[in-house]
Amino acid sequence: MQPLYIQVHASDNVAIIVNPDGLAAGTEFPNGLRLREAIPQSHKVALRTVEQGEPVRRYGQVIGFAKRRIEAGDWVREELVELPTPPPLDQLPLATAVPPELPPLEGYTFQGYRNADGTTGTRNILGITTTVQCVAPTVEYAVQRIRQELLPRFPNVDDVVALTHTYGCGVAIDAPGAEIPIRTLRHLASHPNFGAAPLVVSLGCEKLQPSRLFPDQQLPSASGPHLPVLSAEAYLIRLQDHELRGFAETVAAILRYAEKRLEELNRRQRVACPASELSVGLQCGGSDAFSGVTCNPAVGFAADLLVRAGATVIFGEVTEVRDAVHLLTPRAATVDVALDLIREMRWYDEYLARGRADRSANPTPGNKRGGLVNVVEKALGSIAKSGTSALRAVAGPGERVRSKGLVFAATPASDFICGTLQLPSMNLHVFTTGEGSPYGLALVPVVKVSSRTALAERWPDLIDIDAGRIATGEATIAELGWQIFHYLLEVASGSKKPWAERWGLHNALALFNPAPVT
Ligand code: CA
């Protein structure tokens, strides 16, 4: 392979090395640039001399300032780049460059499960919600029994999932921020892939009472063998109710409810649904310097196709958007949407300040090994996932997204917490990765897109789509974008299963609770 680098923007003074084994000192590029030292793959080379204090540019943006003079052909490492301050939130352009409406894309459908509440499922799953960690092992035990004894009789149902978590008691439930884990659980309980109807197991004495979790539901005074219900659709079992004697009877009660729900779920049929009924959550994990030029732009292209088809596309990860927010507020459809975005950034700035987090808390050692010098470079690559359409709406952490088009849902960047917070609003998940992660979710299929071919080759049974071919010029961003779009429709229909689903890789629910624990 010839020596190859990728310069994203004409004004950039750094570029990343493409060659899988990196390049040796003395390597000369066709344009005469000569490496003064060995540089690993995906790390940056200086294209020209950068004087001390001058900006280092990538993506046409300033990613930092040179701490000392950098010569053309030098390896531009983390320690040579001073971290810039984040864009001030009170000086951002608001809806000043709203992209024009993209041309509609019609005729694309998938086979989905329609729900009474207007949502659409991509899988048919029995979900059992828990109000508190105390009941989690009991529910896990019941789920094993359901899987062995009941599920084989209901071939139309894909799986049984216990929504277990560490929240529910010993928490300051009225403190600011407590609404976040509560509303996340509330929306998860009626997930589109559960048929949008909750089955809930509660202990009885916990802080998070079922009436708090579902304030709109009529609650029965007791549960037991007669199967009382929260409403026509929602079932509730309380372990401390007097009708339930001992563990065996408790498990038997859970199995009775489960059987009733399985009968309902088994009657669901897939029907042809327009692509507009998809709601696709996007995130990255284990990013590298290629992420921003291969997998994220390809996913961004697919995001534009989904938006054109009338679907919802959700991106989040506040700490990986914060340093590029000046590129997003102009794209907001209205001034109000831009202000909503700034509100979420400010909330998170204050949250991090409360915890005295420093600006180097993100990126990770793996990100740095992958060539990312700091969070600014990471953010510029991360927002490529959002494509080019107007930002239509902003949701707070754990709020259910109801808008179509491109939506920012505020979440931490942590893979498992971001996934958990996007879950209530999505029926498909796309995960881009450079360093690699076997990440998967129990409630929705997760499609993994790699930034580098080397990763896709090393993990052929974990990575679904290789976007690394963009770096070598073997494929274009548009080709990969269409490939992702078509693959998502097949995964949504159940006719294709991504690797994480085939292996049954299910990361735990990780609720975001910024409120104190007592
Ligand atoms: Ca992430």
Task: Return the pLDDT at 219.
Answer: 54
Helix (H, G, I), strand (E, B) or coil at 331: helix
The residue among 399, 422, 411 whose CA lies nearest residue 313 is 422
Task: Give pLDDT tens digits for 377-399.
Answer: 999 999 999 999 999 999 999 99
b (16+ CB within 10 A) / e for 75-84: bbebebbebb
Answer yes or no: is pLDDT of 222 > 60. Answer: no
Give the pLDDT confidence score for residue 229 in this predicted structure. 46
- d(C-alpha 186, C-alpha 165), whole Å: 13
* This prediction's pTM: 0.94
CA of 411 to the centre of ligand 1 (A): 9
C-beta of residue 390 within 8 angstroms of C-beta of residue 98: yes
**Distance in Å, CA 238 to ligand 1 centroid:** 36
pLDDT (tens digit per residue) in 267-294: 999 999 999 999 999 999 999 999 999 9
State how far the Cα of 275 lies from the Cα of 278, in Å rounded to an integer. Answer: 6
The model's confidence at residue 218, banded by pLDDT at 50, 70 and 90, is low
pLDDT at 358: 78
Of all residues in the chain, what percent are helix, strand and coil, respectively (each to 5)? Answer: 35, 20, 45
Q: How far does the centroid of ligand 1 lie from the alpha carbon of residue 412, in Å?
A: 8
CA of 299 to the centre of ligand 1 (A): 15
CA of 373 to the centre of ligand 1 (A): 17
Label the pairing between strands 271-274 and 109-114.
antiparallel
Classified as helix, coil or strand, 236 is: strand
Residue 226, pLDDT > 60, answer no
Q: How far apart are the CA of 95 and the centre of ligand 1, in A?
A: 26
- 3-state DSSP assignment of residue 235: strand
How high is the pLDDT of residue 227? 42
The reply to whether omega before 100 is within 30° of 0 (cis) is: no
Q: Give the C-alpha separation, 198 to 234, whole Å.
A: 5
Instruction: Assess contact for 202 and 210: CB atoms under 8 A.
Output: yes
Residue 359, pLDDT above cutoff 90: no
Mean pLDDT of 351-362: 86
Paired strand residues for 447: 430
**How far is 400 from 403, CA to CA, in rounded Å?**
9
How many A from CA of 382 to the centre of ligand 1?
9
Q: Please say if the pLDDT value at position 244 is more than 60.
A: yes
Model confidence pLDDT, tens digit, residues 54-70: 999 999 999 999 999 99
Q: What is the pLDDT of residue 360?
A: 76
Ligand 1 centroid distance, CA of 90 (Å): 27
SS3 220: coil
**Residue 248, pLDDT above cutoff 80:** yes
Give the model's pLDDT for residue 233. 56
Looking at residue 211, what is its pLDDT?
87
CA of 231 to the centre of ligand 1 (A): 37
Q: How far apart are the first and last CA of the chain?
A: 59
What confidence tens digit (pLDDT) does each residue in 84-116 have?
A: 999 999 999 999 999 999 999 999 999 999 998
Looking at residue 516, what is its pLDDT?
94
